[in-house]
């Protein structure tokens, strides 16, 4: 492996970004943490004070010029503030808030022109390799259902706009049933894994999705059924929510870490 390290910057300091930053700070062959963005730089500096080598804390706009790889862990509203300049600069963007990509598909064409790469980790899901492989043949149907504790859905725009009270649910409530594309607009921070799954398979218009607020579950639970000419696949994964943000599972930052590791490892398992 080359001694040259790839420079990594991280946008955000939330439930996804901080574990990734801590991992990079511990020392990773081939990767170097060079910057983190934050709005509240004083608070951010306090959170980084125990790092072995605290990186500079900068604005989102400054990240692109500092790194080869930019990890996005932002609120949905800020996604394009990073994605657009990163793509224009031909950088590698590791995107977590993948729902926003559906709003501007022209960014994929622009990335092809600038040489940028957009890499989407598996996040809180599994079996992307199988779905992606099946998509090279014919997928007859791809269906996903998500059940989350109500606390993980109370801030969803659709729930707020509809005035849905999830505080005292006694039984599961189906909040949405339809295509992944429509779900992405209604739940921009909750359906990133469904969007990623659809992009690995037949696309957001041809992937069916349900999202439930379920007081009986304590984990973010996703069930997927795939039927194709090459395989039939069914699985359920129940992720442990993070303490910082119940809408985000603990597996998501670990998936980002595995993605970054795969960029520099001499052995890479899976596509």
pLDDT per residue rounded down to tens, the chain (271 residues): 445 899 999 999 999 999 999 999 999 999 999 999 999 999 999 999 999 999 999 999 999 999 999 999 999 999 999 999 999 999 999 999 999 999 999 999 999 999 999 999 998 898 999 999 999 999 999 999 999 999 889 989 999 999 999 999 999 999 999 999 999 989 888 899 999 999 999 999 999 999 999 999 999 999 999 999 999 999 999 999 888 888 788 999 999 999 999 999 999 888 6
> Residue 197 falls within a domain, yes or no?
yes
Residues 153 and 183 in one domain: yes
Which domain does 46 fall in, by range?
A: 6-122+251-264
Q: Are residues 108 and 11 in the same domain?
A: yes
Residues annotated as catalytic are 222
DSSP string, 146-203: EEE-GGGTTT-HHHHHHT---TT-SS-EEEEEEEHHHHHHH-TTT-HHHHHHHHHTT-
Question: Are 140 and 220 members of one domain?
Answer: yes
Q: Check which CATH number belongs to the domain holding 27 and give it.
A: 3.40.50.720
Does 245 reside within a domain?
Answer: no
Bridge partners, residue 93, by sequence? 70, 118
Whole-Å CA distances, 25 to 32, 225, 249: 8, 38, 22
* Beta-strand relationship, 173-179 and 139-148: unpaired
* Shared domain check, 151 and 79: no
Asked whether residue 217 is assigned to any structural domain, the reply reads: yes
Q: Are residues 76 and 174 in the same domain?
A: no
In a domain, 116, yes or no: yes
- Single out the residue of 238, 267, 239 nearest to residue 251, CA to CA: 239
Q: What is the pLDDT, as a whole number, of residue 3?
A: 54
Q: Does residue 156 lie in a domain region?
A: yes
Please report the pLDDT score of residue 198 as a whole number.
Answer: 97
Q: Give which of 8, 152, 3 is closest to 69, Cα–Cα.
A: 8
Note the pLDDT of residue 271: 67
Per-residue pLDDT at 181? 96
Residue 51 lies in a domain: yes
105 with 168, same domain? no
User: How many domains are contained in the chain?
Assistant: 2
* Domain match, 45 and 146 both: no
- The Cα 264–Cα 24 span in angstroms is 13
Residue 84 covered by a domain = yes
78, 162: one domain: no
Name residues whose C-beta falls within 8 Å of residue 103's C-beta, 6 or more positions apart in sequence.
none
Predicted TM-score (pTM) of this structure:
0.91
The separation between CA 54 and the C-alpha centre of its own chain, rounded to angstroms, equals 24
Is residue 108 located within the same domain as residue 149? no
Query: How far apart are alpha carbons 221 and 211 in whole angstroms?
Result: 10
Residues 118 and 87: beta-carbon distance below 8 Å? yes
What pLDDT is recorded for position 80? 97
- Output the CA torsion sign for 149, 97, 11, 260: positive
Quick one: how far is CA 123 from the chain centroid?
5
């Amino acid at each position: 492996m080359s001694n040259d390290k790839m420079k990594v910057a991280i946008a955000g300091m939330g439930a996804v970004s901080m574990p990734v930053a801590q991992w990079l700070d511990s020392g990773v062959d081939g990767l170097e943490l060079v910057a983190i963005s934050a709005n509240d730089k004083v608070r951010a500096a306090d959170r980084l004070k125990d790092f072995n080598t605290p990186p500079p804390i900068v604005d989102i706009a400054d990240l692109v010029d500092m790194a080869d790889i930019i990890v996005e862990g932002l609120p949905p509203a800020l996604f394009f503030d990073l994605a657009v300049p990163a793509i224009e600069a031909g950088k590698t963007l590791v995107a977590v808030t993948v729902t926003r990509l559906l709003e501007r598909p022209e960014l994929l064409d622009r990335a092809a022109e600038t040489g940028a790469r957009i890499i989407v980790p598996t996040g809180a899901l599994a079996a992307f390799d199988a779905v992606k492989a099946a998509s090279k043949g014919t997928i007859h149907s791809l269906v996903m259902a998500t059940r989350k504790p109500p606390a993980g859905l109370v801030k969803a725009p659709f729930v707020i706009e509809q005035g849905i009270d999830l505080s005292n649910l006694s039984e599961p409530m189906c909040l949405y049933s339809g295509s992944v594309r429509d779900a992405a607009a209604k739940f921009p921070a909750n359906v990133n894994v469904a969007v990623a799954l659809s992009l690995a398979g037949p696309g957001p218009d041809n992937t069916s999705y349900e999202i439930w607020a379920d007081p009986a579950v304590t984990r973010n639970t996703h069930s997927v059924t795939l039927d194709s000419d090459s395989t039939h696949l069914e699985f359920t994964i129940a992720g442990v929510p993070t303490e910082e943000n119940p809408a985000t599972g603990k597996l998501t930052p670990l998936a980002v870490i595995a993605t970054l590791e795969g960029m520099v490892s001499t052995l890479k398992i899976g596509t």
